[in-house]
Chains A and B, each alone.
Chain A
Amino acid sequence: MPSNPPIEKVLEELRSGKIAGETKITMECLDAIASSTVYSNAKRPEDFEHEIAEYLALFLRERPRLILLANAARYLLNEVKQGIEKGLSVTELKKLVTLKAMDFNKSMRAAIDKIGEIGARYIEDGDVILTHGASTTVLSILAKAKEEGKSIQVLVTEARPEFQGRILAMALADLGISTTLIVDSAHYYYMKKVHKVVLGATAICPNGCIVGRVGTGAVALAAHEHRVKVYVAANTQKITAEVAFAEEASHERGDPSWVLPQEESRRLGIFVANPAYDITPPEYVSLIITERGAVPPQGVILIAKEIYGWPLVTFKAADFFEYLA
C-alpha cells in the first residue's frame, strides 16, 4: 500500500488513544479518507475502490466495534461502487469520495435536529412521557415539542449506576419542561400514568431489535404490557448490518466500580455485575424515529437498504477482509 500521511496520522492517533468518542473518531477517519485521495496513485476506478476499502479496513481493524465508523465505511463504499457503475473516472471518484465523506459528517450533525422535528409530531399537548437514561435524540424531540408550545410532563429514570438520566433531567428542567426523576425500578409503578415512552438506542439491528442502555428492554416490556406506545429515537447511522453486534453488545460490561468500589466488593467477597446494554425485541417497539422518517421496527431494513446499498456489507473481522480479497 502506498504511503499516505493523513491515513497514517489518524491510525497513529487511534493506536495511541489520542482521539476518543465514536463521533469524533468517525469524523477524523472520514476527514483522513477525504484528504487521502490526493495521494492516490490508482489508475483504474476498481483500484481506487480497493484502496479506499483498504484504508477503511485499517481503521475498522483498530476500532472493530464502532457502528458509526462501520456505517461510514459502508456508505462510502456504496457510493464509490455506484460511481463506478455510472462510469465515473478516478478523478471524478476522488471528488466524489471527498464530497461524500463531508456529507456524512454534515448529516451526523443535522440528523439530531431532523429527528427532533419528526419526533415532536408524535408528542401531543398534555402528554406524560417516560424516558430511560439520557439520549441526545430524545432531548431533541422533547425540546422541540416544548418549543412548539406543547405542555408535557417527563419522567426520567436515573439510569444507575452512572446516573446519566440525571443529566437529561437537569437539561429538561432547565428548558422549562416539567420533569420528574424516578429510580429505574419505578418505571412499572408509573407506567399506568404514562401516555408515551420515548427511548434512545445504541444500535438498531436490521431485524428491528434495539440495542440500548441496560434497562431499555424492561421499560419497553412494561409499556407493551400497559398498551403504551414506545418510540425509539435514533439516527440511521446507528443501524448496524453486523447482526452479531447485538449479541456481542449484550455481553458488554460497564465498570463495576460504578456500582460498588472495587476494594469494598473485594472485602465483602461480592462479584459485581454491571451490564452495559440490553436487547429489546421489535414487538415492544411501536415506531423507530429516524431523520429519514418514522418507521415500524420491521421497516428498518428498507432504510438500511436505501442508504447503505444491498446486500449490506458486513465489516466483522474475517468477512471484511474476505470482501477485500
Chain B
Amino acid sequence: MSEAIAEVKEVFREIMLHVLECEDELILELNDPGLKEAVRRHFENLRSQLAKVYVRKLRKEYEREIKAFSERLDVTFLPSKLIPRPPRSRDRARTWIERLSSILENYEEAIKQLRKKAS
C-alpha cells in the first residue's frame, strides 16, 4: 500500500470519527425522539455520501498505482514483450549482435521507439 492510499484512509477515518462525534453530541442535546430520529437519518445519509467519496478517491489512487505498476512492467518484461526473436533461417547470433548493438547505441530512444511500435 502506498503512502497516498494510507493518507486517504487516515483522512477518511478522521472525518468519520468527527462526524460520529458531532452526531452523538447533537443527539444528546435533543429531547424530542422524532427530532433525534431525523438527525440520525440525516447523519446516516451524510456518512453514506462520505463513504461514496471515499471509495471514489480510493479507487482513483489504486488505479494510479496500477497504472504506474503496469508502466514498470513494460520495462520489466521489455525484451520478451518488445523485441521479436530473429527468424530461424537467419544467422541468429549475428542478428542478435546487430540488434543489441543498435539498442545499446541509443538506449532510451530505442526503448521509446520499441514501445511506440508495440502499442
Contact = CB atoms under 8 A, between A and B. Distances in A.
Interaction A to B: yes
Interface in B66-87: 68, 71, 75-76, 78-80, 83, 85-86
**Interface SS, B side:** helix
Given A170-B83, A174-B85, A175-B93, A136 B76 contact: no
Interface residues of A, number: 32
Given A134-B104, A147-B93, A170-B83, 9 more contacts: A136-B104, A146-B93, A162-B75, A167-B83, A174-B86, A175-B96, A255-B108, A261-B68, A261-B71
Contacts of A264: 68
A15 B102 CA distance: 21
Contacts of B109: 20
Contact of A143 (B4, B80, B97, B102): B97
**Interface SS, A side:** helix
B20 interface: no
Interface residues of B, number: 27
B31 interface: no
A264 B86 CA distance: 38
A136 B100 contact: yes
Contacts of A268: 3
A170 B109 CA distance: 20
6 contacts: A20-B105, A140-B93, A140-B97, A167-B83, A175-B92, A261-B68
Nearest to A136: B101
Contact of A170 (B76, B79, B104): B79
